[in-house]
Amino acid sequence: MEKTLFIIAGANGSGKTTFAKEFCKENNLEFLNTDEIAKHCKTDIEAGRRFLKAVREKLNQNSSFVIETTLSGKYIKPIIKEAKSKGFLIKLIYIFLSNPEENILRVRQRVLKGGHNVPEKDIIRRYYRSKKMFREIKNLVNEWSLIFNGKDNFILVADDKSIYLPELYKTFLEDIKNG
């Protein structure tokens, strides 16, 4: 495999970490998990710095790896630019749910299992901002995939080559327009 930066993106509660862990296991890749990094930090700023440092270290090692993001911050474009300058392929995998209320419910379920919480207002804001950023970011990467996290599995809706499920794709685009 050519050295590749895989970016798993989506709003809070969309299933990024679940997808990334399975994807890494199947493809023998390292996953830089922001949530795991944050557990060992006192502040979000410290966690962000440590995450960016870890990303730069991986880029300098010239081996494929996976990161996750809500696409609601400003750091992803510089990461993409740096990765490209070092000869990485960039593959964006965007995971989404039907509506922000579903994301809120999944975050609540995660909290009940001991996971981290995200305020509802942040989930709603990031749900729409994240989708809008996807539209921008997909033009900066080599390949992209849009995946719906259905009840029991992840479903490929579209990628840079084709649209496989037009109705779900249309719903996704309407959220971008209306959000």
Q: pTM, whole model, 2 decimals?
A: 0.92
Residues 6+ apart with CB under 8 A from 152: none
Secondary structure of the chain: what % helix, strand, coil (to 5)?
50, 20, 30
What is the tens place of the pLDDT at every residue in 93-120? 999 999 999 999 999 988 888 877 888 9
Cα–Cα nearest to 118, from 130, 132, 133, 108: 108
What is the tens place of the pLDDT at every residue in 129-143? 999 999 999 999 999
CATH number corresponding to 4-178:
3.40.50.300
Where b means 16+ CB within 10 Å and e means fewer, 59-84 reads beeeebbbbbbbbbeeebeebbebbe
Predicted confidence at residue 157, as pLDDT, reads 98
